[in-house]
Structure 1
Amino acid sequence: MLDAPFDPGEELTRFSTAAAGSGGIVSFTGLVRAQAKGSAVRSLFLQAYSPMTERGIEQAAQEARRRWALTALSIIHRTGSMAPGEPIVFVATAAAHRRAAFEAADFLMDYLKTEAVFWKKEVTEAGDQWIEPRPEDYRDAARWAGPQES
C-alpha cells in the first residue's frame, strides 16, 4: 500500500520488464471518479489497518498464484486523500497464456473491491459519504467461490 501518488505507466513498464518472457500481461488501473451519485467528487479518502489489509492482499495474491499459472503479479493500492483522476489501484498479472492473466487480474480486483479492509469516504459537493461495495460487486466476487485452476 502507498500513501503517495504513483504513476501507472511507470509501474507497467517496471512490471513488463520483470515479466519478460511471459505470453501475455494484463493490467488494470482504477482512478478516482469525478462524479458520484450525481454530485461532483472533491476527493476520496482511503484508510486501512495496514497489518490486516496487507495480509489479506498477500493471501489473495497467493490464491491467484495457486489458481493460475502466473509468471508475475503486482498489486499497488493507495491510501490517504486523492483527487479525481488520480490512480487508486494498479493490478498486473502475467502468464504464458492470456486467459490465466485475465482471470487472475479479475479475481484480484474482485477481492480488492469486496474483501480487502479499506474504509473509503467520498467528499462531494453534496456532502461526505462512506462507500461500501455494491451488490453487483459481491455477485462478481461470488464467481470465484469454488476451486479453479488453469
Structure 2
Amino acid sequence: MSIFERVERFLWRRGFVQPALRAATRDLFIFSAIFFGLGAALLPWTSDGLWAGVASFLSAWNFYTLARFIQYAMPAAMPEADRRGAATARVVKKGLLLRTYLRLFITGFFVYVALVQFQASPAALAAGLSAAVTIIPLSLFFRR
C-alpha cells in the first residue's frame, strides 16, 4: 500500500468524506513530511530547511483542523425546522470564530518560541507557513 493510500485511509477514518478536500489535505501532509525530511537531512549545513518543514507541518495542522471542523459542523442538508439555516449558521460562526482564534494563538506561540528561543530564520518560517497557500490550490487545480 502506498503512502498516498495510507494517508487517504487515515483521513477517511477522521471524517474527510469530500474527495477534493481529502486530496488537498493528503497532499499538504505529504509535502510537509517531505519538506521536513529534506530539512532534517540538510541540518548539518543549515537549520533553515528544518524550520521551514516545522512551519509547514504547523500550516498543515491548521488546515486539517479547520477542514475537519467545517465538515463536522456543516450538515449535508438543512433540517426542515431550520429552513433558512439561521440556527446552523449561528452555531458554525461561533465555533469557527473560537477555533480560529485558538489556532491563531497556538501558531503565534510556536512561531514566537521558534524565533526567540531557537533563533529560527523568519524567512524559513514564512516559507513553511505559506505551504498551504501554495499546495492546496495546486492540488485542487491538478485534481484528476
TM-score by length of 1: 0.31
Structure with the largest fraction of strand: 1
Larger-gyration structure (1/2):
2
Structure with the largest fraction of helix: 2
